[in-house]
Amino acid sequence: MPYQGGKRLSGEKASKLGHLDVVNSALVNELIEQFEDQEPAQVESLANWEAIPNGETPLRLIFAVDGSKQTIRSDFPPYKELSFIKTALLRLDQHAIEKLDPVAPHPMALRDIMSDSAMYHATVLPLKGLSINGQSNYDAVRRIIFDSLQDQSLNAEPYKTLKWLAYEKWSGQQKSSPSFGCPHCEKDIGGLSFDQDEGACEHCGGHLYLTDMIGFHLEMSEDAAPESVATAYMLIHETLLLFTGIRFFWEAKKYSVLSNALFIKDGPLFLKGQYSKLVIPIRNFFDFAKQKGISVHVVGQEKTGAFFDHLEIIARNAPNNSLFAPSNEYIRKEIQHRPERAEPYGSRTNYGNKLFVKFDEYHHLVLSIPTGHYTDTDSLDVFLSLNRILVSLPPILSHRHECALVPVELANGVASLSSYPSAAILKVFADI
Ligand SMILES: [Zn+2]
């Protein structure tokens, strides 16, 4: 791709490459031939498709989360950069979805659903060139994250959920938070004592927020934060919204309501690298619920990425109403094309295992479903409440978009920033 145009110099034109005579290169020609010779991707029978079990009743209550983010940059120096983030949790029931026109849902009917049963959170993070009350960008972002999770419009519920997860409050024990690196001296801190919101580093005495445990500071510098911090905030907040629903029913001991609800996350059940501190507590929760015999139904659906691309190929030859759980070995060889590594796929970052599902010619889904503690077993038995989750999906498959679920489409509508203040309006505020 040509370089983009700057302020004073025009962008590089693709036609300038003409004189390089790339097509005279033997190597380039060979590569082009290889592209042209390419057969449609071969469908190997390595995928072991099985029929989707039936016999269960669909879950009645459905919760879906989604988020969006928009980064605004000032046009003139000193360059400033802000990221607006919005997340939403939507509650639906199967009856409400049945009443919608599947092909062209009436906008007013959608509006009613959204106004009655959606909650959303919005915040803004300074990424570059902004100082707040004389604090460095680094400390300002840490503070804003701490405050934003306690958003009073949501009664600080996502923050309470963070504490519920970090201290594993369901266990009835007074556990410490997971350990984390100090944002001031970088030394490892054993974790904050049970139920603490703030504390001091045992090495340097620096001030700590519980939210530092999540790991945002690990990719920030003193005066700037990369856009990936905003993305990570959005993903963490979506996760906390989802678990807020679960925590609410759990703490109220409404186990029968909980076991009749499906929680859908847009994207995989995954927290990457430095943000994976919550993965172990989340797995511990699912395992605890399993030991107690309480069904908690959570599913993540990813619509892009290597797993989705792979399913696009293998789904062609798969029978309708079938599923396939790829083993660690299959993921490594067929999807990631990686050499053998010591660490199994997702063992530190995922709180659900992958599952490929094909319902019909229009709908094949990459799902993640929790297993409790990590396992690389590819048996279908490891997935928690698999059958009940799968039987709940056909009634909510979208008739408007392939491979889509109606609750996620609707949550996306609520979370979408472009449908609320337009990007131009955001920019007007950002320039003040
Ligand atoms: Zn320290």
pLDDT digits (tens, 9 = 90+) for 290-304: 999 999 999 999 999
Domain that holds residue 375: 50-430
Q: How many domains does the chain contain in total?
A: 1
Task: Give residue 81 CA to ligand 1 midpoint distance, Å.
Answer: 28
CA dist 397 to 95, 100, 212, Å? 14, 12, 39
Q: What angle (nearest 5°) sits at the alpha carbon of residue 98, between those of residues 93 and 104?
A: 120
Task: Give residue 208 CA to ligand 1 midpoint distance, Å.
Answer: 9
Rounded to whole angstroms, the Cα distance separating 397 from 277 reads 33
Task: Give residue 390 CA to ligand 1 midpoint distance, Å.
Answer: 47
pLDDT for 153 equals: 87
Task: Give residue 203 CA to ligand 1 midpoint distance, Å.
Answer: 5
Cα torsion through 273, 277, 278, 279, rounded to 10: 60
Look at the chain and count its residues: 432
Helix spans in 39-156 (H): 94-99, 107-117, 137-148
Structural tokens at position 127: 């990424």
Rounded to whole angstroms, the Cα distance separating 412 from 419 reads 10
**Torsion-angle region of residue 150: left (phi > 0), alpha (psi -120 to 50) or beta?**
alpha
On whether the CB atoms of residues 235 and 67 are closer than 8 A, the answer is yes
pLDDT digits (tens, 9 = 90+) for 310-358: 999 999 989 999 999 999 889 988 998 888 776 888 889 999 999 999 9
Q: Which residues are CB-contacts of 137 (< 8 A; sequence separation ≥ 6)?
A: 126, 127, 128, 130, 131, 220, 222, 223, 224, 225
Q: What angle (nearest 5°) sits at the alpha carbon of residue 70, between those of residues 299 and 79?
A: 145
Rounded to whole angstroms, the Cα distance separating 210 from 259 reads 30
Task: Give residue 23 CA to ligand 1 midpoint distance, Å.
Answer: 57
Task: Give residue 343 CA to ligand 1 midpoint distance, Å.
Answer: 30
Q: Does a cis peptide bond (omega within 30 degrees of 0) precede residue 326?
A: no
Rounded to whole angstroms, the Cα distance separating 119 from 298 reads 19
What b/e string do you get for 122-139 counting C-beta neighbours within 10 Å, with b at 16 or more? bbbbbbbbbeeeeeebbb
Task: Give residue 239 CA to ligand 1 midpoint distance, Å.
Answer: 28
pLDDT digits (tens, 9 = 90+) for 412-423: 888 886 654 445
Give the sign of the dihedral formed by CA 350, CA 228, CA 64, CA 177: positive
Structural tokens at position 375: 């396992």
What stretch of H or E contains 346? none
Residue 7 within any structural domain of the chain: no
Residue 41 within any structural domain of the chain: no
Structural tokens at position 398: 């979208």
pLDDT digits (tens, 9 = 90+) for 156-201: 999 999 999 999 999 999 999 999 999 999 999 999 999 999 999 9
Residue 225 within any structural domain of the chain: yes
On whether the CB atoms of residues 280 and 181 are closer than 8 A, the answer is no
Residue 323 within any structural domain of the chain: yes
Residues near ligand 1 ion, CB 5 Å cutoff:
182, 184-185, 201, 203-204, 206
CA 170 to chain centre: 23
Task: Give residue 275 CA to ligand 1 midpoint distance, Å.
Answer: 19
Residue 1 within any structural domain of the chain: no
pTM of the predicted structure, to 2 decimals: 0.86
Residue 34 within any structural domain of the chain: no
Between β-strands 198-200 and 180-181, what pairing exists: parallel, antiparallel or unpaired?
unpaired
pLDDT for 432 equals: 44
pLDDT for 420 equals: 46
Q: What angle (nearest 5°) sits at the alpha carbon of residue 270, between those of residues 411 and 254?
A: 60
Burial-class residue 333 by CB neighbours within 10 Å (0-12, 13-18, 19+). middle
Least confident of 137-141, 143-147, 157-161: 137-141
Q: Which of 36, 46, 14 is nearest to 333 (CA)?
A: 46
Task: Give residue 217 CA to ligand 1 midpoint distance, Å.
Answer: 13
Which residue is it, tokens 């060139």? 129
Best-predicted range by mean pLDDT (86-90, 125-129, 166-170, 412-416): 166-170
Task: Give residue 207 CA to ligand 1 midpoint distance, Å.
Answer: 8
Residue 102 within any structural domain of the chain: yes
Best-predicted range by mean pLDDT (70-74, 90-94, 131-135, 185-189): 185-189
Residue 147 within any structural domain of the chain: yes
Least confident of 130-139, 163-172, 305-314: 130-139
Which DSSP state fits 420? Answer: S
- In the predicted structure, residue 265 carries a pLDDT above the cut 70: yes
pLDDT for 40 equals: 53
- In the predicted structure, residue 143 carries a pLDDT above the cut 70: yes
pLDDT digits (tens, 9 = 90+) for 204-249: 999 999 999 999 999 998 888 899 999 999 999 999 999 999 999 9
